[in-house]
Every structure is written in structure tokens, then in C-alpha cells.
Amino acid sequence: MKRPGMLLVFAIGCNVDPVAEDGCGATVEAEPGCPAAAVVVMSDFISSQVALTRLDGTTLCGSFASSARSEASSLAFPFSGDLAVPTTAPASGEVVLIDRFGTNVVSFLDPPTGNVLRQLAIGTGFQSNPQDYLEVDGRRAFVTRWGENPLPGVEPFDGGGDVLVIDRSEPAVVARIELPRSEGFPPRPAGMTLVDGVVMVTLQRASVDVKTMGEAEIVGIDPDSEAIVFTERIAGLKNCGPLTPSPSAERAVVACTGFIDPDGISTDLAESAIVVFDLAETPPVELGRFAAIDVAGAPLQSNVAFFGEERLVVKTQSALGGETNNRVLSLDLVSGETQGLLEARPATAGGGQGIVYGGLLCTPGCGDVCLLADADHGALQRWSIAEGELESLPLLRVTGTVGLPPRDLGTF
């Protein structure tokens, strides 16, 4: 079973407009302290296409990579319909794609050409379901593996529920960091963030059958020694996303959805909240919380974005066929005030469409725009950032045809 991302089925074709042939790239000079450009993953969960855009959402390359490739630069792994991008922009300047459940591959692409430079299989004999990728120095990167191996010990590094250490240049797996279990729950590591020399990993603690969850935790790893230096429980909250620093990196937030059933229905709204942390200390110190019921009256998705030092963009979790629609809101971390920004359309047959709002990217001080992957309209929703406020901009289609809906956003 795929958690916490999307179901993967690989097929040759799909019932949408054919994706364009790959072959374009982008050469972009990044401003100091800013990412160079955005990476947009478009998918119907069967086929995928990757585009590059400027930080304001305007297209640089509409088909940088796609599952239409029969193979990737004579390598063994074509892209699936379940691609994701790292939480943090790779310091190498390469475009990194994480191929999740069923493929279990990390690919490294050259932005100016779209060529696949290297690929690394990280399944090690089981469905490892990689979730995030983080470069920790000029050679090494960490990869979180959400999946559990029921029969470990057959291949090297095949334990699962861990952080793999990879040598990017080879590429090769060189080490495995085992993560702690708690009360019978596997670790289920998801997002990672590097904060003041420590890699912060969120553990989601789903059971082996994914029918229950324990309280989420943050684990700190020293990238030099590759040793765990702390483990902190996020009391009362479940199914949490990565630690997301503010623009100054003085504080950070973690958004927690709470346990949801296979239909996307929340079982306990009290398990969902935004938690604010002080990053001046290690481990981070909790400063306060904003309960989901107060923020949105509904569970929150686990990825958020800062558009100011004290302002966030957040999204609701909504069930397929449910009574509510996906929504986007801003949240003021000082006053607790919220403002509705966007609401999805109901499904044609009635009821909600489920989650149609995907990746979020805000670049205050760089592009000064917030982007949202909107599968409802098959386009990028956009807001300009001015004096701590958001102003709606015209939405943009990433490609000239309707094609595949955008699902995820990252940077390089």
C-alpha cells in the first residue's frame, strides 16, 4: 500500500492528451540565496511529465522529462506515474526526481539539457517507497524510505523504515541509518530538513497494515557521524509533514493531518494541527499550536509554505466524494487569523473531488510569488507576495495542451 503519497500503476498510455517529446532544458542563473527555477510534476498516477518554470510560474520547458521515454538515457528505469521532488532544493543544482512505490529509484537530471545523468535503485529487494532526498555535502545525500521490508537480511541495506546514505557521484548506497521504533509502530520516515547542521526527519509512525498510527516524531541526525542525536515526540498529533523553516530560519512549523482512512476521511480532527517551533535550540522547542478545527474546521494537509516571517499558506484535507471541497487558506501565526484563498469545484457527480491541491511553493524575497499545483483546473494557481499579503494572479497552464494535471512542486 502506498503511503503517504499516491497509488502507482505503470502503463504505456493514458486517457489524456499525449505528453510532448522530451528534449528541452533551461539554463537559469539563481540569485544569491534563491532557487534557480521551479520543477513541476504533472501526473494522472499512470503517466507523468516534468516541466521547468520560472519562480513566477511562467514556463521555461514544458516537457523536461516524462514517462513517455521508453528508457532513460539507455538506463534501466523509465519514469513512472508516481514522481516526487525533494523538499529542499538540491545544492548540486541538479534536478532530482524521486520515483516512489513500485519503482524505488532516484534520478539525477541536467537542467540545461534534460539528460538523465545518473539513476540509483534504492529498493534493495523490497518496495522501499522513498519519500524525500536531501544533499548533506558535496558527495553524500540522504533518502528516507517509508516502506517496511517483511524479510530483511537478504541484500545489503534492505531493512526499510530508514534513511539511506548515498554517494551521488557513483551513484551507490553506502550506508543505512536505522530509525527507532515506538510501541510497535514502524518509523515511516517522510520529509527531511537541514537545520543548523542537523538533519530533521519526520517520522509518521503508521502500523504495518496502515490501519492505525502512533504519535508523530522528529528525529535529528548528525550528517557527519550519521548518528541520531535526538528524538522528540509531537504529542497528540499524527501524520505530520516536514519541518518547514520561516524565511529567517528562526522558527519553523510542522503541519499534521491526523490519521485518515483509505477514503481520505479523518478519524479524529484533534490529531491535526500546525505546530510552531523555535529553531534557536536543538532539538527545536515547541512555541505553540493552531488546531485544525480553529484554522479551517477541517483536517490540514501536511505540506505548507511560508510567504512571510509569520504568514503561512495551508491546505485542507478532503475526502473523495465527501461533503467538503479542497481549500487553500492563509494563516497569521501571531493573531491566528485565517483568510480563504481558493476552493475547489465539486465533482461532476456531486460531492468533493478529494485532494486536488498539491505542491506549494512560496519564494518571498526571490520570486515573490506563491505557486500551487491545482489539478482541479490543470494549471498553476498564483499569488503575488507584497508587504506580507497575497494578491491573486492569473493562473497559468504549464504546457500548451491540457495534458496532465500538476501535482507536485519543487526547486533546483
Residue 17: its pLDDT value, please?
41
In a domain, 62, yes or no: yes
Residue 95, Cβ neighbours under 10 Å: how many? 29
Tell me how many degrees the CA angle 45-253-1 measures, rounded to the nearest 5.
30
Q: What is the pLDDT of residue 403?
A: 79
Per-residue pLDDT reduced to its tens digit, 400-410: 765 799 999 99
Task: Compute the Cα dihedral for 242, 247, 253, 257 and give only its sign.
Answer: negative
Q: What is the mean pLDDT of residues 98-121?
A: 95
For the chain, the average pLDDT equals 92
The Cα 259–Cα 112 span in angstroms is 41
Residue type, 47: S
Average pLDDT over residues 36-56: 96
CATH number, position 231 = 2.130.10.10
Q: 388 lies in a domain?
A: yes
Q: What is the mean pLDDT of residues 86-93?
A: 97
Q: What is the pLDDT of residue 280?
A: 96
Could you read off the pLDDT of 148-168 as tens digits, one per residue?
A: 999 999 999 999 999 999 999
- DSSP for 146-201 reads EEE-SS-SSSTT--EEEEEEEETTTTEEEEEEE---BTTB---EEEEEEETTEEEE
Residue 384 has pLDDT above 70, yes or no: yes
pLDDT value of position 16: 37
Residue 401 CB contacts under 8 Å (≥ 6 apart), including other chains: 17, 20
Cβ atoms of 317 and 269 closer than 8 Å:
no
**pLDDT class of 21 with cuts at 50, 70, 90:** low
Q: Does some domain include residue 31?
A: no
Residue 86 has pLDDT above 50, yes or no: yes
For 235, the domain range is 38-411
Which tens digits make up the pLDDT trace of 92-107? 999 999 999 889 999 9
Is 387 or 75 the better-scoring residue by pLDDT? 387
Residue 409 DSSP symbol? E
Residue 56 covered by a domain: yes
Is 13 part of any domain? no
- Three-class SS state of 270: helix
Task: Evaluate whether residue 17 is within a structural domain.
Answer: no
Mean pLDDT of 269-288: 97
**Does 3 score more than 80 pLDDT?**
no
More confident position, 77 or 82: 82
In a domain, 122, yes or no: yes
What pLDDT, in 10s, does the model give residues 363-383?
999 999 999 999 999 999 999
Residue 212, in any domain of the structure:
yes
Write the pLDDT tens digit of every residue in 206-258: 999 999 999 999 999 999 999 999 999 999 999 999 999 999 999 999 999 99
How high is the pLDDT of residue 264? 82
Q: So what's the pLDDT on residue 263?
A: 78
Per the CB < 8 A criterion, the answer to whether 25 and 61 are in contact is yes
75 — pLDDT class (breaks 50, 70, 90): low
Report the number of distinct structural domains present in the chain.
1
- Considering only CA atoms, which of 285, 287, 161, 148 is closest in space to residue 230? 285
